[in-house]
A and B are shown apart, each in its own frame.
Chain A
Amino acid sequence: MKKINYSKAHARYLKKLKKEKALVAFWQIFVFIAFLGIWELFSSVGVLDPFFFSSPSRIATTLATLASSGNLWIHIWTSLYETVLGFIIAIVLGTIIAILLWWSERLRKIFEPYLIILNSLPKIALGPLIVLWVGSGTGATIVMCVLICIIITTMSMLGAFISCEQDKIMLMKSMHANKFQILFKLILPHSLPEFISVLKINVGLSWVGTVMGEYLSSKAGLGYLINYGSQMLQLDIVMTSIVLLCVLAGGMYLCVCPLEKRYPK
């Protein structure tokens, strides 16, 4: 590659970009600190009743007590384990189902109405049934998580598979590719960007599934903790759990993001 000497305007442009980036970062941190500060201030002067709204300092204390009793890790671990497992099962199963539906047009036609109904159905409605079938606890939560993520995975992946240009398939056929080769060398790589966006959507959905599952029936987990806290009217625990959920879901999202950089659209 040739090294090119750009004009001074380019340097100015880069500097502007950098400045803009720093400015955004500054305001992001500022908003965060201001939010915490105002929250703390209002609850200490009595504008907000800390009993209902908690406060950053009370959340910190709650965190410390929970951590020292060792329960905190159990709750975090339970929820994280359920979410990640549900997420992985839903992605793998959902993609396999999408592949089967792509493979056989007849299968696709048969199942299309069922997919649409299942997609529209609020999965929480199945909650009591799930508890009866698989028993309460971790299993039920994972099933709930899978149910919520799998339909959207199947529908999005199938959509991506089908959107592959017909001429590209013809090209493969003209080189005598069989259906397996068309799948592995064309359809799947073509659908990788969609797969990554499905992953991102499912990070959010799998946490919805876990919290919902834990509301239904559970003995541990952050959803359980929220439920417990609100029943005992200990809103510090509720708020603390929500903060933890934010951190965990954000962390999981960040784990997926590098994939998108690596395989851009």
Chain B
Amino acid sequence: MEKFLEFKDVSYFYQTKESEIHALDRLSFDIGSCEFASLVGPSGCGKTTILSLVAGLLSASEGEILLDGKKIEKNDSRIGYMFQRDQLFEWRTIWQNITLGLEIQKKKKDEKMLALCEELLKKYDLYNFKNKKPRQLSGGMRQRVALIRTLALQPQLLLLDEPFSALDFQTRLKVCDDVFEIIKNEKKTALLVTHDISEALSMSDKVIILSSRPASVKEVMKLNFEGSTPLKKREDKDFGKNFDKIWRNLT
């Protein structure tokens, strides 16, 4: 598989008045196109930093990040970022939330893009809530809206930062399945950050295990579980074995 996203010896330092925080240490990994990769690592190890670098919100102190073979630049429209918690704007309707990106990029009159938004809403059971406000939706629905908002700009690479951490366990399993289905359907490459090992295992083709801060790659695990959805993958006989392996690696 060709490399779609590639980190080459990337280091990052945060500067504060008191000190310098070494967040990433010569980090190297790659993700193929249409691959679903997860980053797992202890909290505070630098996972969000990695996503911010890919999204161009920060720029690497050392090393380089390549997207499709070229050095990553700021405001690359091939990248979509889904944040921790849904970050929906309460004063906007669902429709207005979903089209926020189009509005910002002055594509609100692009019929094709609008049609895509409508289609996504319909496909993922949110069309009836088009004109509702976010507070009228359940946590799982809000998360789907946040994902559609990200997809509306048609990114090729999706960055997901612990998108399910605010949900209760039941909803979480369900939304996991939904999000997985959407991402696979739309043929996107995804980079998911999570501290939940079973979530990483059940969703990904590849798990990248990070050391504690400064983060570097400890191990990359390729996965091949039976099952078409995360929930079914959890029933694979090797699931537990792999879980233990990651668990030991993390502690």
A-to-B contact residues, CB < 8 Å = 165, 167-168, 170-177, 181, 185-186, 189-190, 192, 263
- Taken together as a complex, chains A and B put the C-alpha atoms of A186 and B89 apart, in Å, by 8
Look across to chain B and name the residue whose beta carbon is closest to the beta carbon of A175.
B101
Rounded to whole Å, the gap between the CB of B132 and the closest CB of chain A is 11
- Taken together as a complex, chains A and B put the C-alpha atoms of A176 and B104 apart, in Å, by 7
Look across to chain B and name the residue whose beta carbon is closest to the beta carbon of A176.
B75
Jot down 26 A-B pairs with beta carbons below 8 A, ordered by A.
A165-B87, A167-B84, A167-B87, A168-B87, A168-B89, A170-B52, A170-B81, A170-B83, A172-B104, A173-B57, A174-B55, A174-B57, A174-B79, A175-B100, A175-B101, A175-B105, A176-B75, A176-B105, A177-B104, A185-B100, A189-B91, A189-B92, A190-B89, A190-B91, A192-B91, A263-B91
Is B87 a contact of A171 with CB atoms below 8 Å? yes
Question: Is B5's CB within 8 Å of the partner chain A?
Answer: no
Chain B interface mostly: loop
Q: In the complex, which of the residues A165, A170, A190 contacts B57, with contact meaning CB atoms closer than 8 Å? A: A170
Question: Is B196's CB within 8 Å of the partner chain A?
Answer: no
Q: In the complex, which of the residues A170, A185, A263 contacts B104, with contact meaning CB atoms closer than 8 Å? A: A185
Query: B84 to chain A: which residues have CB within 8 Å?
Result: 167
Is B103 a contact of A185 with CB atoms below 8 Å? yes
Question: Is B85's CB within 8 Å of the partner chain A?
Answer: yes
B-to-A contact residues, CB < 8 Å = 52, 55, 57, 75, 77, 79-81, 83-85, 87, 89, 91-92, 100-101, 103-105, 153
Is A171 a contact of B83 with CB atoms below 8 Å? yes
Look across to chain A and name the residue whose beta carbon is closest to the beta carbon of B153.
A175
Q: Are A181 and B87 also in contact (CB < 8 A) when A171-B81, A173-B57 are?
A: no
- Taken together as a complex, chains A and B put the C-alpha atoms of A167 and B87 apart, in Å, by 7
- Find the residue from A171, A189, A190 having the highest chain B CB count within 10 A: A171
Query: A170 to chain B: which residues have CB within 8 Å?
Result: 52, 57, 81, 83
- Taken together as a complex, chains A and B put the C-alpha atoms of A177 and B103 apart, in Å, by 10
Look across to chain B and name the residue whose beta carbon is closest to the beta carbon of A182.
B104
Look across to chain B and name the residue whose beta carbon is closest to the beta carbon of A174.
B81
Query: A185 to chain B: which residues have CB within 8 Å?
Result: 100, 103-104
Query: B105 to chain A: which residues have CB within 8 Å?
Result: 175-176
Given known contacts A172-B104, A174-B55, A185-B100, what 10 new A-B pairs fall within 8 Å (CB)? Answer: A170-B57, A170-B81, A173-B57, A174-B57, A174-B81, A175-B101, A175-B153, A181-B104, A185-B103, A186-B89
- Find the residue from B52, B55, B84, B100 having the highest chain A CB count within 10 A: B100
Is A176 a contact of B100 with CB atoms below 8 Å? no
Query: B89 to chain A: which residues have CB within 8 Å?
Result: 168, 186, 189-190
Look across to chain A and name the residue whose beta carbon is closest to the beta carbon of B84.
A167
Is A175 a contact of B83 with CB atoms below 8 Å? no
Q: Are A175 and B57 also in contact (CB < 8 A) when A165-B87, A167-B85, A189-B91 are?
A: no
Look across to chain B and name the residue whose beta carbon is closest to the beta carbon of A177.
B104
Query: A167 to chain B: which residues have CB within 8 Å?
Result: 83-85, 87
Look across to chain B and name the residue whose beta carbon is closest to the beta carbon of A263.
B91
Look across to chain B and name the residue whose beta carbon is closest to the beta carbon of A192.
B91
Rounded to whole Å, the gap between the CB of B225 and the closest CB of chain A is 31
Rounded to whole Å, the gap between the CB of B42 and the closest CB of chain A is 21
- Taken together as a complex, chains A and B put the C-alpha atoms of A44 and B105 apart, in Å, by 74
- Taken together as a complex, chains A and B put the C-alpha atoms of A190 and B88 apart, in Å, by 12
